[in-house]
Structure formats: C-alpha cells, structure tokens
C-alpha cells in the first residue's frame, strides 16, 4: 500500500475508462486503480440492491489496495449506491456521476434536450430529482438505450449494429426538436464519433467526465493530507474474462493494458431482488 494513497475508479464494465482518461489528464501524478465489473455488466437491468452490493464489494477491494478516494464512474451505480458508500466510507471522498442536465439545459437553443441513458439511470429517484431541479422551462426527453453498453463492452465502436442502435435511439429525440443530447452513461463517450456522424454537427453532445475529474481534484485538495507524489501508475482489474478485458481496455485506453482478475470473493454476488 502506497503512502501516497490512490484513486479508485469503478464501473459496470469498461465505460468508466472515459472518466479515467480525464482523471489521468487532470491528475497526471496520481496512482489510479480501475475496476471493470465486466462479470456483472450491464448494471442497467440489475436491481438497485444488487448494484449496491456490487459497489460495496468493489469499494472494499479498492480501499484494501490503498485507495483513499473513490469515483463511481457509472450513472446507474451512483443512483443505486452513492449514499450507502458515503455512509460506509465516510472518511473518503466518494465522487459519483449523474447525467449532465444542468449544462445541457444551459446549452440548448431549441429548449429541447434529449437524454441517452440506461433504463436504470432513467428510472432512478436521483435522475428525477435532477429534472425537478434543473429542467425549468426546457423540455427533457429521455431514451433508454438497451444494447449500447454491450456494444462498447465488445469494442464494436464502428459496427453496423452500433450505428443501427444509435439511429434508433436518437431519431425520436431529434424528431421532437432536441438540439442537445446528454450522454448519460460513461460507455457512450466512446460512441461519440458515431453519434456525431448520425446526428450531425449541429447537435451538441454533453458528458460529464471532465467535470467529474475536476471535482475529484478539488475534493482531494480540500479533504486529504498533502499527497506524496511518486511515479504515476494505473492498475486495471476485472471481474470478467481477463484476456477479453485486457483486449477491450487496450483498445479504449489507447495503449496496451493488462487487466488482472479480481479475487474470487469480490467477483461473486448473489442476485438480490
């Protein structure tokens, strides 16, 4: 365990790498530990208690590896587990994700915003509260996107299936006048080039990865002892197939990645209703 601490980041799969990328850019000297819970992906169709249980097991593992700050790089897991993690690990900064409703409302000119997200995120009380707080006189259209997470998990960022799904999910939003689309899942930024190709250059795409990284930086500076900076490192873990995870993470991260398998006790969670 390093005396300098580490930042732990987790997601249902590889999507949180889009957030990790921003964290590495803003905090270039930190030790980062990333967990892809690919053995349980996607979270969007799991029950809230199940996601909460997975989030707790992963967070315990991250703390055991020296993490003194945790980023829940998953909108669905944030909605299901952020509160309980903050209670359990009250001494740690716990940074969550949420769809970027506020900046999207500020950006729209047509006063119509579309949200692309998992069903779990859209059905959460946390998302409902966001709409109540920030929507105002802007019309917010929501679109669940089954299948998009799985496309990214397979690394099929330029596939015909990915394009067909994006066309299906964005068409009704554009038809109703949306000029701003929120990428409400951390997997979706990896599909942003194809989304842009489908919807055109006039549609604004909004995600929160950079804002989350900057918020993390502020929390670390305000709440943790001064960091003892060593050589930056990034460790990758998965609860799924390690070879598959290494291949997909390397594709998304932009350099060769070796993902280690999580301990068996961390990989297993019995279904909770």
C-alpha span between 174 and 180 (Å, rounded): 9
Annotated catalytic residue 3:
no
* Claim to verify: residue 78 and residue 115 sit in the same structural domain: no
Indicate whether 273 belongs to any domain.
no
Considering the candidates 74, 81, 178, 248, report the single residue annotated as catalytic: 74
Q: How many domains does the chain have?
A: 2
pLDDT value at residue 273: 46
How does DSSP assign 172-219, residue by residue? Answer: HHHHTT--EEEE-STTGGGGHHHHHHHH-TTSEEE--HHHHHHHHHHH
Domain end position, chosen among 179, 207, 235: 207
Annotated catalytic residue 145:
no
Range from 37-51, 83-97, 214-228, 255-269 that averages highest in pLDDT = 83-97
- CATH number for position 49: 3.40.50.1860
pLDDT band at 272 (very low <50, low <70, confident <90, very high): low
Considering the candidates 36, 101, 182, 185, report the single residue annotated as catalytic: 185
C-alpha span between 224 and 165 (Å, rounded): 43
Residue range of the domain that includes 188: 101-207
* Claim to verify: residue 90 and residue 107 sit in the same structural domain: no
């Amino acid at each position: 365990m390093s005396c300098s601490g580490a930042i732990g980041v987790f997601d249902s799969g590889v999507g949180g790498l889009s957030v990790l990328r921003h964290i590495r850019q803003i905090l270039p000297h930190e030790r980062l530990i990333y967990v892809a819970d690919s053995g349980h992906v996607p979270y969007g169709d799991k029950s809230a208690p199940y996601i909460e249980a997975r989030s707790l097991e992963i967070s315990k593992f991250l703390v055991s590896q020296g993490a003194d700050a945790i980023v829940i790089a998953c909108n669905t897991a944030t909605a299901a587990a952020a509160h309980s993690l903050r209670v359990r690990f009250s001494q740690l900064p716990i940074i969550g994700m949420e769809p970027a409703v506020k900046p999207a409302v500020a950006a729209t000119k047509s006063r119509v915003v579309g949200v692309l997200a998992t069903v779990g995120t859209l059905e959460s009380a946390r998302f409902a509260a966001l709409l109540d707080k920030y929507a105002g006189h802007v019309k917010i259209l929501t679109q669940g996107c089954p299948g998009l997470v799985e496309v990214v998990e397979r690394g099929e960022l330029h596939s015909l299936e990915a394009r067909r799904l994006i066309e299906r999910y964005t068409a009704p939003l554009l038809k109703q006048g949306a000029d701003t689309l929120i990428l409400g899942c951390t997997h979706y930024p990896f599909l942003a080039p194809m989304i842009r190709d489908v919807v055109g250059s006039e549609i604004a795409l909004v995600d929160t990865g950079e804002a989350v990284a900057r918020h993390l930086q502020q929390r670390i500076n305000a709440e943790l002892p001064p960091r003892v900076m060593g050589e930056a490192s990034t460790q990758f873990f998965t609860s799924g197939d390690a070879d598959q995870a290494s291949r997909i993470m390397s594709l998304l991260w932009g350099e060769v990645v070796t993902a280690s398998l999580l301990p068996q006790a961390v990989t297993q969670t019995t279904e909770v209703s």
